[in-house]
Amino acid sequence: MADPVGAIGIQADLAALAAMGCHGLSVITALSIGDTTGTEDTQEVEPDWVADQARVLLEDMPVAAFKVGHIGSVETVSVIAEIVSDYPELPLVLDPFATSLPDQGSDEELLLAMRELLIPQTTLLLVSVDELSRLAETWREPSQDNMVDTDASQIIEFGCEYLFVTGVPGEAHSVTNLLFSENGLVRSASWPRQTGPFIGAGNTLSATMTAMLANGLDVPEAVAEAEEFTHAALSHAQRLGMGKRVPDRYFWAREGDAETPAT
């Protein structure tokens, strides 16, 4: 998805990928209208256009990893799943939800299509606790119990290699993230809760993980590096508009404390 603010979507991904030394290629699935407070509306790109964008790029250049973000329709899920199936040797990072899109994740048919077509091909799926619960309701009844471990196990059974869950309930002043694989919980990390609110934290995480996988790291190492980088980017986040703070993916390259103007 193209985001005019550059906080989420393609623009945010490209910034994080560049910060990690990668050249990102972009396939647009939707155009958005929004600002630093959130996204007001989106215009989905026709699935055939999504497919054509990807096929032309893939016929021209070698690719080291895939990252899939916003998906607005079952048809788009289908064309993306078909494309990535032609490259089973490449890692696929799936980060389909965005907190700035309040209605995302409410379409059961879309969730079911992702579960059946994309998740079985996914190397690393990123979801929050709430997003995991919504996804889990495609195979179980809603529950008020803590179902994270059970739901994670089921996601892995569907064929997903790793599941990364953010925002796990814990101490009030920290944020806990969990990484699961077929061996169960393989990593748990807690980070001090920072002053927000933020827009684009999730994009920074998933794009950095993708870059690390493209650079040859294994998943647990990629997750650890991405968490550390994202924490630093949030520490240097800037209030570029009147809404939420935007992570600074280039904090390491800046001199002094001058704010970066929006252009």
- 115 closest CA partner among 134, 89, 130: 134
SS3 label, residue 186? strand
Query: Long-range CB contacts (< 8 A, 24+ apart) of 231-236?
Result: 231/191, 231/194, 233/204, 234/194, 234/196, 234/198, 234/201, 234/204, 235/194
Instruction: Encode pLDDT of 239-251 as tens digits.
Output: 999 999 999 999 9
- pLDDT tens per residue across span 20-61: 999 999 999 999 999 999 999 999 999 999 999 999 999 999
From first to last of its 263 residues, what are the pLDDT tens digits of the chain? 999 999 999 999 999 999 999 999 999 999 999 999 999 999 999 999 999 999 999 999 999 999 999 999 999 999 999 999 999 999 999 999 987 675 655 689 999 999 999 999 999 999 999 999 999 999 999 998 999 999 999 999 999 999 999 999 877 789 999 999 999 999 999 999 998 899 999 999 999 999 999 999 999 999 999 999 999 999 999 999 999 999 999 999 975 655 555 55
